[in-house]
Amino acid sequence: MQTYLHWSDPAVQAAIISAVGSILTSTIAAICAAILGKQIAGRKRLREKLLIAQDDIEFLLLVEQAHCEIHQERGEASRKLNVRKGVKEQGFSWSGKFTPGRVAYNDGPGRRFSKG
């Protein structure tokens, strides 16, 4: 027994249009979800890299502080400002925006470096 579709029947045409519309709707939704998921994941990775960079900056500032304390224990000047001036003369600059105190302030109370 063979079954034929009657393409000219309005009910068949409505069912086909409805099916195609459902497929298009679900495809567009899936594409949008994938794009948004990728953006959210990218932001999360970027945030993780920022936190690592902030930790590295904190470490380097603590190394600088320890180095200055060693000079002061020897009775010498810390020379921190002279070293920073020399580095600036080489064409490098530091914004100072990522000191531990400023990072803690920007992250809000109870996060990362803040003591409150």
Query: What does the pLDDT look like over 19-72, one tens digit per residue?
Result: 999 999 999 999 999 999 999 999 999 988 988 888 888 888 888 888 888 888
Q: What pTM, to 2 d.p., does this model score?
A: 0.58
DSSP assignment of 39-55:
HHHHHHHHHHHHHHHHH
User: What's the pLDDT tens digit per position in 60-104?
Assistant: 888 888 888 888 888 888 788 888 898 999 998 888 888 777 777
The CA distance from 113 to 66, in Å, is 19
